[in-house]
Copies of this chain bind each other. A is one copy, B any other.
Amino acid sequence: MDQEKQETQIKAETQDEILLAALQLFAEKGYFNTSLIDIKDHAGIKNTSGIYHYFKNKNAIAAALYANIFDSLNVSVDEIRRRNNKSSEQLRGVVDLLFKLTQDAPDVMKFLLLVKYDEFLADEKPIMETSATIKIVKIIQTGMNTGEIRAIDPYLAYGFFFGVVNNTLRLILSGALDKSPDFYLSQTWLAAWNSIAKKTNV
């Protein structure tokens, strides 16, 4: 590894440490209760000025997290659409993904479900306009065309379906439901699907 490459590597690592620390703290305490002091301590940096070499300000850290998470979500949704044909299968894939994330990366899901972005990320797209969301709505529309899903406002159906899924995950993440995500997966899928399916398959 030549000198230049190693330096960018190190730079990327420090940046990632800051992002990881911020993610954990934002997920745990919220954006406004997290100071740059907290972040520098958590990231193992000597003082706050170091942060400003990687991010313009505190807000930019949150914006980077937001972008990373939704980009990766968008990629995952693409894969899921590629690997499955029926709308029900694709939605099931998304639910599986969200449950797996809740298990493996709870901070990511806490950030995703428990944080109110618009209070500090006014310039970012609202969740309903992100690529991932739009693609999921398309899945639902397709399901309506093929007759799997009841013909209603697609955004309403989106709200029903992910109301069930996300609210269950919220209860798990907040400790109100004490079993592991896997325990609730099949029941949650069924309830979510029942809320929008045409023929109720019990």
Contacts and interface: CB of A to CB of B under 8 A. Distances in A.
A155 B167 contact: no
B174 A126 contact: yes
Interface string A35-69: 00000000000000000000000000000000000
Q: Which of A163, A177, A194 has the most CB of B within 10 A?
A: A163
B176 A168 contact: no
A202 interface: yes
A190 B131 CA distance: 29
Q: Which of A115, A192, A195 has the most CB of B within 10 A?
A: A195
Given A163-B164, A202-B200, A156 B177 contact: yes
Contact of A167 (B152, B153, B162, B176): B162
A30 interface: yes
A177 B159 contact: yes
A102 interface: no
A187 B116 contact: no
Interface string A108-145: 00000011100100000010100000000000000000
Contacts of A188: 156, 160
A15 B23 CA distance: 38
Nearest to A201: B200
Contacts of A128: 171, 174, 176
Given A155-B176, A160-B167, 4 more contacts: A156-B184, A163-B167, A166-B167, A200-B202
Interface of A: 29-30, 32-33, 114-116, 119, 126, 128, 152-153, 155-156, 159-160, 162-168, 170-171, 174, 176-177, 184, 187-188, 191-192, 194-196, 200, 202
